[in-house]
Chain A
Amino acid sequence: MRRFDLTLPRTVDDCVKILSDRGDDAKLVAGGTDLLPQLKNGLLKPRYVVDLSGVETLRAIRVANGSGLRLGAAVTARAIETEPHILSAYPALAESGALVGSLQIRNLATVGGNLCNAAPSADMAPPLLALDAEAVIVGPRGERRVPLTTFFLGVRKTVLAADELLVELVVPAPGPRSGGQYLRHTPRRELDIAVVGVASQLTLTDGVCRKAAIALASVAPTPVRAVAAERALTGQAVTPELIERAAELAVDAARPISDQRGSADFRRHLVKVLTRRTLTTALERARAARQEA
């Protein structure tokens, strides 16, 4: 790793000030699990690194107004994996946190870092996309909210300006009779990265699908929603045949490349398999969910 200066802000305002001054030549570090490998490989050579680990507010998990979830950007994957409320109300999100790297990585990696690094394979992106989460961004011009569906611009590119930082994710409650699952395919059981990841979230009313969301990782420059598949499900009774149809439509939303992790053909094949499986489980979980506000 090359040399750099390190600042240790205590508040979000401190961070904003540093970024306004140093912006282009500075990088934020939270868990470091994406940044440090990039520094060591020489992909990034910032003069300044800003350590977020001293900003306590970024680590908060709040259940807002009794419904919905507010996740500080520096909440770790391990916290997301184990937090009881997330496990019960947002199982797809908990599952995605549980899959990041290894335990030694999950104790460091943050949801904010996962999203801001914006790799197409970011595990925590699909469930958050499927849950219609919003990003809360703070900069010198104040605070703004961006739906996660428009947060990602390309490979390793987000809407964040050089002088902004992500502070929180706001996740609306999925509502009663809702269920979701995140599955990904990897060659190994741990220490791996998604070849394809799929999150499905289904919300039912009187047995009919009121809302469907399917989000895909690793099959496009950014994580994407499979909109045509979602439309096919909305307003319908969800049968295995309809799930199969949605799985096929999900493949159309994928624009995968072939790289050393997988060929485009295999990725398309997996989109279908994992969409089918996550929709099936999402349906089971939706049916089993208790009526709760």
Chain B
Amino acid sequence: MSTIMKTTRDVRGVGLAIPRADGAEKVTGRVEYVADIKRKGLLHAKLLRSPHAHARIVRIDTAKARALPGVRAVLTATDIPELKRKAPTRAHAVLAIDRVVFAGQPVAAVAADELAIAEEALDLIDVEYQVLPAAVDPLQSMQPGAPPVADAGTEADTSEALAHSAVAMAKGETRRADAPEPTKAVNVSQTAHVKRGDVAKGFAESDVVIEHTYRVPMVHQGYLEPHAVLAEWDRTGHLTLWASTQGSFNTRSEVADVLGVDENRITVIPVECGGGFGGKIRALCEPITAVLARATGRPVRYVMTRREELEAGMPAPQVIIRLKTGVKRDGTLMALEAETVLESGAFSGAVLAVSAVFLGSLYRWPAFDIKGSEVLTHKPSVAAYRAPVAPQTIFAIDSQMEALARALGLDPVEFRARHLSHPGEPMVNNQPWASHGGHEVLASAAGHRFWKERAAWKASAPAGRVRGTGLSLGGWLGGLQPTGATVKLNPDGTVSVLTGQVDIAGTNIALAQIAASAYGVDFEKVRITTGDTDVAPVTGLSAGSKTVYTVGVAVMQAAQDARRQTLEVAAGELEAAVEDLDIVDGRVVVRGMPDRGVTLTQIGRKGNLYMSKVQPILGSARTAFTQQAPAFASEIARIELDPDTGEVTLHGFVVVQDAGRAINPLGVEGQMQGGAVQSLGIALTEQLAYDDQGRLTNPSLLDYRKLTAADLPNIETIIVEVPSPSGPFGARGVGEPPIVPAPAAIANAVEDAAAVRITECPLTPERIAMKLAGRPAGKS
């Protein structure tokens, strides 16, 4: 009988566009988030926060609050012996000791029977502050004599944090700010400097020199589910945390460090996370909630209000880039000079290196001089936000490339393509660019109808409106983190995979597909479980576009290991060599002899049978690789602009992105569309607006404007595949690249439509209209 036998290659796995397994639970409202969880005797927490950006705490009186019926605990810093006077990170500054360094910093904590009672208790806490001058503008804060943010011996001491956060560019190029001298800039907590060649000479030989200062304000990650955590201690001193987090192991480590508890005395259960985007990596609410639970002996839940999220979350840094570029008339790049200021808020932690890499390495500049500074201010300290610092940096370099192309009368896409770095060419740190699909992405974008028809679009503007098209190119270098995974064969022939990674981006279905293709069964037979920190292998963050890239490899290797074990058992049964075996339709068969086989069920059962000599199949893998997989994305915006009001209407938007290998195209599209809309938010409407006292003036979602469905067109997606040599099945991380290009694409579109170059985000109607109104009379 001649049958066409399916091989492992034919299983339903990698490459299928299939919905996530938890879809039905989500659409019926059955999935539980932290705020949905009930525990017996649950108490509710509220934090009292400083109204001042910088002040000494003179006195706190909690007597009246403690006396309110229903209040179970009122804590200040004096009640928490573990608190370090020198808080190396914001997580360590659980409650302010004697000084507050940002408006919104917690100074007291309450646990009560009801939220309403806890709120009333806050009203009854009496705090006397001595208000101090605040450093609120980063450029002023950099100057000598600015009010100091870090103060040795008290909170916002950043000396240890620098060791964690400073990314070495190459030896000697990143320096920490040492003990401040009177004339030194006390609030500059990190600096970096890279150079190559002679920029002065390069500018002298340039025909066209363009200099702009680009600015993108602090923005919030905007996840719909506010930070939430439920803490409960048992009688043995073991702490359980149900947390909305992007990394249960990271949360466990931070809480252990802050509270001085062993990590294996803490269990972090990663509950379904309602969005993170980098804002739920660092510990924020967990330590204080754990302390309240310990003080009351009861489970305590703390859910941030939206106002608290906006006022006292961990936003993306403000980024200011002065960029000067020189080119020859024929388009040859000559020199690039940049000064980047990252405003990090009250604690150090911004990532300087990314900016320098994109400014100096994306395009091939023969000479560059790039300086970066991280500056502290009296504002909430920052954390990552999806491709940290990349959207802001690409806003600068891509806008500048567009401006250069226009000044030279060259095609903007050809100009980028001509100078875009190739794999193997050196980055600013002299490491070679890894394999990447930047050129393919750019070529694909250039072929899209939005780009090809841009002249017709511009000409079609109705009376009183103008139209334009903007294209931009950006990406992300890819993330890395060690991780582990296990794969087991169940007695019925199904497969179970255990990881510790939080399924934020639909990665679980991709991992199931990877396991399916690597082991040799259809994905329906695979189940992925995200274990808590007690049961799962140590796992990294669900962030940095590295989940599928790193956990995917661990799952793939664990599945391959399980497959090998399975075939070894079968080889014994079938008296055949492992190399002659394959897994087809749930059976291990000898190739070419379909009648000789043993089912996965049989193998699985044997591994669980009383008195059996067959071991259960348990594949495992631990990975820690160092090769990043950069992933590029290009976005094109087709807009119409009302010059009188400055309103931009998006008529079309497309994301072209290199996924390496799209493990699950449906999931990849979702990442591209979601990232693109966040990118558009940075471009058009989002900013955390502080007054000159360091207080947030827009602490609600009415005034912190995220785009609605009515503001947007369909986001078209084009997946390009330039396989990565190191990713699972060639996959690259897909979460980060799409948030990068839109601010530049929008600025380029606005210039195309209205002949003005705007270098500050967001490009609000006011910014556009007033720039247009300021133009000399007679221009259209």
Instruction: State yes or no: do A and B touch (Cβ within 8 Å).
Output: yes
Task: Give the B-binding residues of A (Cβ under 8 A).
Answer: 1-3, 37, 40-42, 45, 102, 185, 187-193, 195, 259-263, 265-266, 269-270, 273
Query: A3-B116, A187-B765, A269-B773 are known contacts. Are A259 and B697 too (CB-CB below 8 A)?
Result: yes
Across the interface, do A188 and B119 meet the contact criterion of CB distance under 8 Å?
A: no
CB nearest neighbor in B for A270: B645
When C-beta atoms are compared, the residue in chain B nearest to A267 turns out to be: B766
Query: Do the beta carbons of B116 and A187 come within 8 Å of each other?
Result: no
Pick from A45, A193, A266: contact of B702, CB under 8 Å: A193
Residues of B within 8 A of A37 (CB): 700
Contacts of A2 in B (CB 8 A): 116, 119-120, 123
Known contacts A41-B307, A189-B711, A269-B773; is A262 also within 8 Å of B766 by CB?
Answer: yes
Q: Complex: how many Å from CA A45 to CA B705?
A: 28
Q: Which residues in A have their C-beta under 8 angstroms from that of B770?
A: 263, 265-266, 269
In the complex, 28 of the A-B residue pairs with CB atoms within 8 angstroms, ordered by the A residue number, are A1-B119, A2-B116, A2-B119, A3-B120, A41-B307, A42-B123, A45-B123, A185-B645, A185-B765, A187-B647, A187-B684, A187-B705, A187-B764, A187-B765, A188-B705, A188-B711, A189-B710, A189-B711, A190-B710, A191-B701, A193-B702, A195-B766, A260-B689, A260-B698, A265-B770, A266-B766, A266-B769, A273-B644
**Is there an interface contact between B703 and A261, defined as CB atoms closer than 8 Å?**
yes
Instruction: Provide the residues of chain A in CB contact with B296, threshold 8 Å.
Output: none
Cβ of B757 to closest chain A Cβ, rounded Å: 20
In the bound assembly, the distance between CA atoms of A265 and B766 in angstroms comes to 9
Q: How far apart are A84's CB and chain B's nearest CB, in angstroms?
A: 24
Which interface residue of A185, A187, A260, A269 has the most chain B CB atoms within 10 A?
A187
Which 5 A-B residue pairings sit nearest by Cβ, starting from the closest? A189-B710, A260-B697, A260-B689, A266-B766, A273-B644
0/1 interface trace, chain B 225-265, chain A, CB 8 Å (1 if under): 00000000000000000000000000000000000000000
Chain B residues within 8 Å of A262, by CB? 766
Contact across chains for B769 and A269 when beta carbons are under 8 A apart: yes
In the complex, A23→B81 CA distance in Å?
48
Q: Does B708 contact A (CB under 8 A)?
A: yes
A193 to B770, CA, bound (A): 20
Question: Roughly how many angstroms separate A264 CA and B62 CA in the complex, as a whole number?
Answer: 43
Task: Please name the residue on chain B nearest to A259 by beta carbon.
Answer: B697
Is B413 engaged at the interface, CB distance under 8 Å to the other chain? no
* A265 contact set on B, CB distance < 8 A: 770
Q: List A contacts of B689 (CB < 8 A).
A: 260
Sample of 19 more A-B contacts, CB < 8 Å, known A187-B684, A188-B685: A1-B116, A3-B116, A40-B305, A45-B123, A188-B705, A188-B707, A188-B711, A189-B708, A189-B710, A189-B711, A190-B710, A191-B701, A191-B702, A191-B708, A260-B689, A266-B769, A269-B773, A270-B645, A273-B645
How many Å lie between the Cα of A263 and that of B647 in the bound state? 16
In the assembled complex, the CB of A11 is this many whole angstroms from the nearest CB of chain B, namely 30
At the interface, yes or no: B641 with Cβ under 8 Å from chain A?
no
Shortest Cβ distance from A3 into B: residue: B116
Residue of A nearest to B116 (CB): A3
| Closest beta carbon of chain B to A70's beta carbon, Å | 31
What's the Cα separation between A3 and B68 when bound, in Å?
A: 13
- Measured between C-beta atoms, what is the minimum distance from A264 to chain B in Å? 11
For residue B123, which residues in chain A have a CB less than 8 angstroms away from its CB? 2, 42, 45
Would you call B117 an interface residue if the criterion is a C-beta within 8 Å of the partner chain's C-beta atoms?
A: yes
User: Taking CB as reference atom, which chain A residue is nearest B704?
Assistant: A260
| Shortest Cβ distance from residue A259 to the other chain B in the assembled complex, whole angstroms | 7
Contact across chains for A190 and B708 when beta carbons are under 8 A apart: yes
Contacting residues, chain A, for B307 (C-beta < 8 A)? 41
Q: In whole angstroms, what is the CA distance A168 to B407 when docked?
A: 63
Report the Cα distance A130→B711, complex, angstroms. 30
Q: Which residues of B contact A269 (CB under 8 A)?
A: 769-770, 773
Q: Which residue of A lies closest to B762 (CB)?
A: A187
Q: Chain B residues near A40 (CB, 8 Å)?
A: 305
Q: Which residues of A contact B702 (CB under 8 A)?
A: 191-193
Contact code string B699-719 (vs A, CB < 8 Å = 1, else 0): 011110101101100000000
Give the contacts of B286-313 with A (CB-CB under 8 A): 305, 307
Q: A45 CA to B766 CA in the complex, in Å?
A: 36
Closest to B701 in A: A191
The smallest C-beta distance from B652 to any residue of chain A, in angstroms, reads 17
Q: Which residue of A lies closest to B642 (CB)?
A: A273
Q: Smallest distance from the beta carbon of A261 to chain B beta carbons, Å?
A: 7
Contact A3 to B697, CB < 8 A, known contacts A266-B769, A266-B770, A270-B645 = no
Residues in A whose Cβ lies below 8 Å from that of B701: 191
- The answer to whether B705 touches A192 (Cβ under 8 A) is yes
Which residues of chain B (722-771) have a CB below 8 Å from chain A?
A: 764-766, 769-770
Enumerate chain A residues within 8 angstroms of B764, measured Cβ to Cβ: 187
- Chain B nearest CB, measured from A119 CB (Å): 12
Write out the residue numbers on chain A whose beta carbons fall within 8 Å of the beta carbon of B115: 1
